[in-house]
Amino acid sequence: MITTGTAQDPSVDATHPEGHDADAVRKISNRLRRAHGQLAAVIGAVEAGEDCRAVVQQLAAVTKALDRAGFLVISTALRECLTEPDAGGGPSPEELEKLFLTLA
């Protein structure tokens, strides 16, 4: 999993001790926050009885935001795998392919 900082020291911002790119973590978090906000809007639209077109449009936005976050997680892991092939603990190329196909 891609994380940054620790519960004890959230100020770590260059790279996670496990080697994760803090910029990638920020981008992934931003995409997930955007999806969270869009999902809240979908729930509000359903509860308010909005037109089905508006609800479906907002659902599509949530889906796209989640897909982009997922692909960013995979591309970050792939980049780390290519730049640090000897680092242990990361997913294998086969696992990355399987994860990618899960989202595709």
What global pTM score does this model have?
0.68
Domains and CATH numbers, the chain: 22-103 (1.20.58.1000)
Residue for token pair 């900082």 = 5
pLDDT in tens, 45-95: 999 999 999 899 999 999 999 999 999 988 888 888 777 777 767 777 788
Q: What is the pLDDT of residue 20?
A: 65
Q: What is the mean pLDDT of residues 7-14?
A: 40
Q: CB 24: neighbour CB atoms within 10 A? A: 20
Contact indicator for 8, 35 with CB cutoff of 8 Å: no
Cα separation of the two ends of the chain: 19
